[in-house]
Amino acid sequence: MSIDLKTVKHISKLARISIDDEKANKLKGDLNNIFEFIEKLNELNTDNVQALTSIAETTLRFRKDEIKSENIREKILKNSPEENKDFFVVPKVVE
Amino acid sequence: MSDITSQSLFELTSNIKEKKLSSEEITKAFIDRAEKSKKLNVYVTDNFEKAIDQSKKFDSNPNFDLKLPGIPIAVKDLFCTNGVRTTAGSKILNNFVPTYESTVTQNLWSQGAILLGKLNCDEFAMGSSNETSFFGNVQNPVGENLVPGGSSGGSSAAVAANLTPVTIGTDTGGSIRQPASFTGTVGLKPTYGSCSRYGIVAFASSLDQAGPMTKNVRDCSMFLEVISSFDQKDSTSIDYKRNCYSKELSKDIKGKKIGIPKEYRVDNMPDEIEQLWKNGISYAKDCGAEIIDISLPHTNYALPTYYIVAPAEASSNLARYDGVKYGFRSPGQNLIEMYEKTRSEGFGDEVKRRIMIGTYVLSSGYYDAYYLKAQKVRQLIKKDFDDAFSKVDAILTPSTPSSAFKIGEKTNDPVSMYLNDIFTVPINLAGLPGISIPAGKDKNNYPLGLQVIGKPFDEQNILNISYALEDKINFKNDISDWWLSE
């Protein structure tokens, strides 16, 4: 199969990365080369194979539900791109 | 005593403990050399001033019981360091100063180490040549205009150029072992779950592991001992008894069964690498190991599997970079436009390419054909290794299909760049430990590495085999210091 320009634009929309036509064309070429390489997997019959979802053969641990009270508001907001001591600031979303 | 910066970790810790050197002397020696080595571009952010203060503090009240007493160490810029900028080689994290510390770096400081600075790497660890970094490419000390490998390229170059005694890298598909091979240094990727991933900028969570990069195998065993630990903060960290690797290090590998997988003899592999492998096999025999031919039949499918699984996980992990809570932001008329512009301007081409691949393979209608298929093939690859390890104790292969290449040589062809990791990627997919040790040189005098792969949690065994081989190989990295300026 091959990936057309429309698909590239659709993926970029899903990935929330804006691209212009020139970049989209370049990406189309790259992605087609990469998928040609990836499609080698179709040679294999995997009908009766179970998907490997976790390499570490352990079940997830439970921990005690404890309150670790530490005021980290400042720490969390410290790297915020637009300064405001109480909130993260974004462009207006409600008209 | 040899020049301070050329000493191994073992020598430096001995000299500190015997009071032949102070932490301040050592720290200053590495900083002086770094000031003259800017041409290599290994540092993204230095921590020199604070490092000197900390070394003085150590000397005024030294604790020689620690495993890294007053030893200055630079780390890959993928580890979050509290109060020190952490960029992951990306514009999108250009101004990010973590307010917390990664577990593996915390382990270093708890054992007395001092942070020298943060080392250059491919953007979000996506690359095999350090050329995708927002902060520019790194020069391989082995030769001018040669890539140091990637993604831990600043790390491999810094160890080879004597700019840090040891360092930690991360390895998702070969990012420790391939650069180690390109620079004549030692790099180990531990078993998945051995080193905590907490505080490491995530690339592909089911594959990422931190690991030591060092001048020799003994240092590697000492350093692994410090960074490997069980951590509640990483849900995939595994609670098992970790060896005292350096204490149990031994060259006695008599009777060990070492497998040689025929599928690693790939088309167009240079004769030098074939020869290097043969030499490794005969050294192992000399040490009393038993050589056994094995088959890993799905080897050829590892790279295509990796290029579905890793980008899929990456596209999900990198969704957090949206310009809202931290990092770079490009303003937009509305929220969606801000997201799209931030990510378009903040990520480099290779990262965008991989996010696009990942988004596509996870998108509606393609999930089964790509992602699920890849997870099934990953199972087959893991089974290959399970079967092999019922017959052998370890596997010996070349680390890379070529030596270091020129800067710019492969940047226009993503697939040819991906092929660099053909011998290293299967190990990540199967979650196994693997180590690359320098084993010889090609016709240009560029280093080449051999890889020893072990069973899960059997780092001791691959360290011991490497230790025995290292002794026989007797590799000398002749680096001319061509980059030094006054």
> What confidence tens digit (pLDDT) does each residue in B409-425 have?
998 888 888 888 999 99
**Residue B300 contacts A where some CB pair is shorter than 8 Å:** yes
Euclidean distance between CA atoms B319 and B307, whole angstroms? 18
Are B193 and A56 an interchain contact pair (Cβ–Cβ within 8 Å)?
Answer: yes
Taking CA atoms, B218 is separated from A65, B83, B85, B448, in Å, by 42, 32, 31, 19
CB pairs under 8 A between A and B: 157
**How confident is the model at residue A1, as a pLDDT?**
62
Active-site residue flag, B151: yes
**How confident is the model at residue B88, as a pLDDT?**
98
Are B378 and A52 an interchain contact pair (Cβ–Cβ within 8 Å)?
Answer: yes
Average pLDDT over residues B35-48: 98
Average pLDDT over residues B219-247: 96
Q: From the list A18, A38, A54, which residue is nearest B344 (CB)?
A: A18
Are B414 and A63 an interchain contact pair (Cβ–Cβ within 8 Å)?
Answer: no
**How confident is the model at residue A70, as a pLDDT?**
81
* pLDDT, averaged across chain B: 96
Are B418 and A37 an interchain contact pair (Cβ–Cβ within 8 Å)?
Answer: yes
Where b means 16+ CB within 10 Å and e means fewer, B163-176 reads bbbbbbbbbbbbbb
Least confident of B176-180, B231-235, B280-284, B462-466: B231-235
All structural domains of chain B, each given as residue ranges with its CATH number in brackets, are: 4-259+390-473 (3.90.1300.10)
Q: From the list B95, B356, B375, which residue is nearest A12 (CB)?
A: B356
If pLDDT is split at 50, 70 and 90, which confidence band does A33 have? very high
Tokens of B69: 């007493």
**Residue B430 contacts A where some CB pair is shorter than 8 Å:** yes
Choose, out of A52, A57, A63, A84, the residue to mutate when testing the contact with B (most B CBs < 10 Å). A52
**How confident is the model at residue B116, as a pLDDT?**
98
**How confident is the model at residue B387, as a pLDDT?**
98
Euclidean distance between CA atoms A15 and A30, whole angstroms? 17
Are B305 and A41 an interchain contact pair (Cβ–Cβ within 8 Å)?
Answer: yes
**How confident is the model at residue A71, as a pLDDT?**
83
Least confident of A47-51, A82-86, B46-50, B96-100: A82-86
If pLDDT is split at 50, 70 and 90, which confidence band does B2 have? confident
pTM: 0.96
Q: What is the DSSP letter of B202?
A: P
Identify the active-site residue in B23, B37, B67, B76.
B76
**Would the pLDDT of B99 be above 70?**
yes
Q: In terms of CA atoms, which chain A residue is nearest residue B100?
A: A75
- A69 vs chain B: nearest CA distance in angstroms? 16
Percentage of chain B lying above the pLDDT 70 cut: 100
ipTM of the complex: 0.94
Active-site residue flag, B37: no
Q: Which long-range contacts (CB under 8 A, 24 or more apart) does B456-459 make?
A: B456/B191, B456/B192, B456/B431, B456/B432, B457/B191, B457/B194, B457/B238, B457/B240, B457/B433, B458/B191, B458/B393, B458/B394, B458/B433, B459/B188, B459/B190, B459/B191, B459/B194, B459/B224, B459/B228, B459/B243, B459/B245, B459/B433
**Would the pLDDT of A82 be above 90?**
no
Least confident of B109-118, B266-275, B358-367: B266-275
Percentage of chain A lying above the pLDDT 90 cut: 61
Tens of pLDDT, residue by residue over B181-205, are 999 999 999 999 999 999 999 999 9
Tens of pLDDT, residue by residue over B311-320, are 999 999 999 9
If pLDDT is split at 50, 70 and 90, which confidence band does B83 have? very high
Q: In terms of CA atoms, which chain B residue is nearest residue A92?
A: B334
Higher pLDDT pick, A69 / B485: B485
Q: Which residues contact B280 (CB under 8 A, 6 or more apart)?
A: B396, B439, B450, B469, B473
Q: Is B79 helix (H, G, I), strand (E, B) or coil?
A: strand
Are A58 and B339 an interchain contact pair (Cβ–Cβ within 8 Å)?
Answer: no
**How confident is the model at residue B1, as a pLDDT?**
61
**Residue B375 contacts A where some CB pair is shorter than 8 Å:** yes
If pLDDT is split at 50, 70 and 90, which confidence band does A32 have? very high
Euclidean distance between CA atoms B463 and B470, whole angstroms? 10
- A contacts of B370 (beta carbons < 8 Å): 38
Active-site residue flag, B485: no
- B7 vs chain A: nearest CA distance in angstroms? 37
**Would the pLDDT of A43 be above 70?**
yes
Tens of pLDDT, residue by residue over B122-150, are 999 999 999 999 999 999 999 999 999 99
Are A17 and B378 an interchain contact pair (Cβ–Cβ within 8 Å)?
Answer: no
